[in-house]
Structure 1
Amino acid sequence: MKNKALSYLFYGIILLIEVIILSSCSSDDPEQVYTEGTNEYTNEWMYGQMKKYYRWNDAMPNQGDLSVNPKEYFARLLKTDDVFSYAMHPALPETAPKSLRQKFGFDISFIEYQGKVLGVILYALYDSPAKNNGLARGQLITSVDGVELTLNNYDSLYKNMTAATQLNLKLISYSAQLGFYNEKQVAISQGFSFTQPLLSQVITNGNTKIGYVEIPHFDVGMAKLFLQTFQELKNKQITELVLDLRYNGGGDIASATALSIILAPNIKSGDLFIEFEGNKNGGIVKQSFQQALESNEKNISFEALKNTHPNIQKVYILCGKHTASASEIIINNLSPFINVITIGEKTVGKDVAGFPVEDDRISGKKDWVLYPSIYKLFNAKHEGGYAAGINPSINADELENPEVFALGNRSEILLNTAINAISGNAGKAKMVKSHALPLSKVYTDADPLLVTP
């Protein structure tokens, strides 16, 4: 009897433990609720959104410490080699990605020439703080805020420039005929740069008419401008085309699609243009030329764009370390439809897209916005995987000489290389007089490629 009583007692204890466990797991229990405005309140939301949308959500760590700064917390959720996803708060400018282009409207690279370290101005955007203060492509920077550039400090000085709100630069010009000349000081304050114009022209090389178009960015609504520009080139009977995307960090996918429709011959509106590959929640999304165009360009028809196709059999694309996102789509997604010849250096490697995820839990209040990598990108042949960058068909370094010509000048190294390739002339071997210096900073100026959720 005693053993039987003990058995009943033991069984009762087990039942009691099970009841307690079940009660603690009951769906009626309230979840942890965090106070609005706290890091925990924001970070819990971030984690949930990333688990839902992030392309590599299966590789995310556990929720972890929710009390840390949201910017730091978001970075902890990312795949190690994901340099494109970011989070920002519209009321906190310090959380936004930093670049010279966004702040001042220009960018630079560094070279070593005759024992000197020089910053080469690659471009100055139209009506930007840089352009309005006299900066132009090809000018050389010798010092920043009174500090002369050296091999030991150029990298850190560049980082400081991207974080600054005002720059004091010592500039000098260079030409093969004059050497160094026209030294001057320039002060630039942070400001805005707006929509940029297209640079287009026809270059006659023997009996060949070459169209040259430089596109600085793929802005929303550019289809009409592309239509006008390429109709003019078609009317001038070009038979070759050089498309300059070397400083185009991307932008609107519908805008890039509109250009692709113009350039790709013998396509139909229903032909597959792009494929988005998400996680298990997002799945695979395929878009035809028509669908990708209509995602943000509904006022210009597919047929109107297609009828503007010039008489070309191939397209030469100038590219480099700033060519990213929608510009890389032009290269990768046009290749199934037309021969694409790239000239320059390896591109950035932004083969991901997404859409902004906003924290709108509190009505009327601006809060954090996430720009996660949601989709990997592929073309009509399911070709993609260019996260390491797209290698050019023809290698060329635009900074192999300290004299850097304006974009569109046929003496400019990349354009000159394209003209030689078109004419079948490999060109004479050039004497390299300078060499580019690397930056440790990961390139962050690639625009988020936004798609319609």
Structure 2
Amino acid sequence: MKKCLFLSRILLCSMVLLFNSCQNDDSPVSYDKENNQYTNMWINEQMRKYYYWNEDLPVFTNLSTDPKDYLGKLLNTDDHFSYSINPADSERSPKSIRSAYGFDISFLEYNGQAFGVVLFVLTDSPAEKSGLKRGQFIKSINGTTIHYQNFENLYLDLASSGSVQLELTEYSSATGFSEVKNIGLIRSFTFSHPVKHEVIVYNNQKVGYIEISHFDAGLAATFLQIFKEFQEQSVSKVIVDLRHNGGGDVSSATALSVILAPNIKSDDVFIKLRGNKNGGLVNQTFKEALEMNESQVSFESLRNAHPSIQELYVLCGNHTASASEIILNNLKPFMNVISIGEKTTGKDAAGFAIEDNRLADKKGWVLCPVIYKLFNANNEGNYALGISPTVELNELQEIEIFPLGDVRETLLNQALSGEKNFRQKKHSTVKKLLLNKNCIDADPFLQIHL
């Protein structure tokens, strides 16, 4: 079988060899190569070898069921992230609103009315090109008015649709709600994740603010340049905005961590991965985790860009997942991490994709199971229910929502003011409507290399 690293390139090739050494030599039952039994037997074999919860796998003898449904019956109740892809059917790949249209959405109630609210828009996305921006309110989706009973179903419909019509309005304290306008979006996959940064002067203090929407591979050079600028301007405080970061490349997240953490050495353990009996325990140092996919910028170069800080402020929320949760959890043994916002997604899992290439003339299914659980150097992990912030603060406290990077914006303003000056608004006129965890747009092991 062909094994390809995904999400966590931090896994060494030697671990694949370790798994392979655990296979038995029993001859498999033979099935017709064109039917579901042939695929499902392969899925069963891979899950029993690699799956984190392999000892709890149920026994299903009905191998004739659809492979996607068959995998679903094998998954542990705590597993929200494993999935499979049939390359012959792209419509069965995991979908999200961000990957389809390029924006993040939440829902709220204001004066007895439910709205969708745009929280984040990707650069060069269908959403941005159509004029969508943070702080706009969605009244209806494809002609259906949003209310308390249907907002979650509308969210799921939006994620799976090929096009959408939105009815929008905006709000400012000076003029109230604007006239309603309609825009249309068409699904596309051509947009980027630029890293935005600036130096903010607040109460005579220079603060380095950096917003990262995704840990794309190869960001080490970008981080190096940004933090050299912060050094040149003598920032004494750093705020990292990860509230809309659903994950990405772990080596990229490691590069940022190497810059931020004070007094670390290249051979300090940064990430611990625990698998089943076949996978065992894998310890990754800062240098090893960095060099798995960031070989162009050295550990020493990144360390030279370290700002003069002993603590870090991180803005987070329920879209914060995977590699961005590593920043929160795995920097804790090395510095004081003050997180502000809401509980994160809780994606404490990693693994690699497994491709069924038994047939030379046909691409087989790709299986993406949870293989490892993630821990920091102090063996702290187990955050499947999310990481609770140091300061719990809902960014939707007021109906007027400011742009990211604006000092009036709720979470940034709190970070600028400091942890000790926390003031939760007691009587907010806005109530957030919570989505089911399975609706959150976190990376579902997206980095598959076939």
Cα–Cα, structure 1 residues 429 and 159, in superposed 2: closer, same or farther, change >3 Å? closer
* Alpha-carbon offset, residue 177 of structure 1: 1.2
Partner of 1:425: 421
Look up the equivalent residue of 1:321 and give its one-letter code. N
Return the offset for 1:429: 4.3
In structure 2, how many angstroms separate the alpha carbons of the residues matched to 1:430 and 1:175? 21
Query: d(CA) in 1 for partners of 2:349 and 2:403?
Result: 32
Q: Name the structure 2 match of 1:323.
A: 320
Task: Report the secondary structure of 1:46's partner residue.
Answer: helix
Tell me the residue number matched to 2:441: 445
Q: What is the match of residue 208 of structure 2?
A: 211
2:139–2:146: 8 Å Cα contact kept in structure 1?
Answer: yes
Q: Which structure 2 residues correspond to residues 39-188 of structure 1 after superposition, within 5 A?
A: 39-188=36-185
Alpha-carbon spacing, 1:403–1:135, altered in 2? closer, same or farther (3 Å): same
Q: Which residue of 2 is the match for residue 11 of structure 1?
A: none
Number of residues paired by the alignment?
425
Which of 343, 346, 349 in structure 2 is aligned with 1:346? 343
Give the 3-state SS of the residue equivalent to 1:327 in structure 2. Answer: helix
Output the amino acid matched with 1:196: H
Aligned mates of 2:231, 2:409 — CA distance in 1: 24
Q: Give the conservation status (yes or no) of the 8 Å contact 2:345–2:440.
A: no
What is the Cα deviation at residue 193 of structure 1? 3.6
Aligned 8 A contact 1:354 1:451 in 2: no
Q: Pairwise CA RMSD of aligned residues?
A: 1.9
SS in structure 2 at match of 1:94: helix
**Mean Cα deviation higher: 104-113 or 434-443:** 434-443
Q: After TM superposition, give the deviation of residue 274 of structure 1 in Å.
A: 0.5
> Are the counterparts in 1 of residues 267 and 287 from structure 2 also a CA contact under 8 Å?
yes
1:91 to partner: Cα distance? 2.6
Q: Deviations over 1:57-95 (max 9, x none)?
A: 000011421100000001111101210111112231222
TM-score normalised to structure 1 length: 0.90
404 and 193 in structure 1: CA distance in 2 versus 1, 3 angstrom threshold: farther
Secondary structure at the counterpart of residue 45 of structure 1:
helix
Q: Please name the residue that 2:360 is paired with.
A: 363
Structure 2 distance, partners of 1:373, 1:428, is 37
CA distance in 1, matches of 2:108, 2:354: 40
Residue in structure 2 matched with residue 12 of structure 1 by the alignment: none
- Determine helix, strand or coil for the equivalent of 2:139: strand
Higher-Rg structure is 1
Is residue 382 from structure 1 mapped to residue 379 from structure 2 by the alignment?
A: yes
Say if 1:245 and 1:327, in contact at 8 Å, map to a contact too.
Answer: yes
Alignment of 1:273-284 (within 5 A): 273-284=270-281
Q: Which residue of 2 aligns with 1:304?
A: 301
The answer to whether residue 192 in structure 2 is matched with residue 195 in structure 1 is: yes
Identity of matched residues, %: 51
1:291 equivalent in alignment to 2:288: yes
Which residue of structure 1 aligns with residue 253 of structure 2?
256
Q: Tell me the CA shift for residue 362 of structure 1.
A: 1.4
Counterparts of 1:391-410 in structure 2, within 5 Å, are 391-410=388-407
Report Cα offsets for 1:398-444 as digits up to 9, x if no partner. Answer: 1111111111011111001111116x533584641111012236135
| Structure 2 unmatched runs, 5+ | 1-23
- Distance in 1 of aligned mates of 2:159 and 2:26: 49
- Change in CA separation of 1:205 and 1:88 when aligned onto 2, cut-off 3 Å: same
Higher relative contact order (CA 8 A, sep 6+): 2
User: Secondary structure at the residue paired with 1:442?
Assistant: helix
> Which one-letter code corresponds to 1:443 in the other structure?
C
Alpha-carbon displacement from aligned partner over 1:29-55 (angstroms, at most 9, x marks no partner): 975311112111110000000111000
More divergent stretch after superposition (330-339 vs 365-374): 365-374
- 1:217-256 alignment runs, 5 A limit: 217-256=214-253
Query: Residue 30 and residue 219 in structure 1: after superposition, are their counterparts in 2 closer, same or farther (change >3 A)?
Result: closer
Verify: 1:33 aligned to 2:24, yes or no: no
The letter for the 2-side match of 1:86 is Y
Deviation at 1:236, TM superposition (A): 0.9
Partners of 2:116 and 2:60 in 1: CA distance? 43
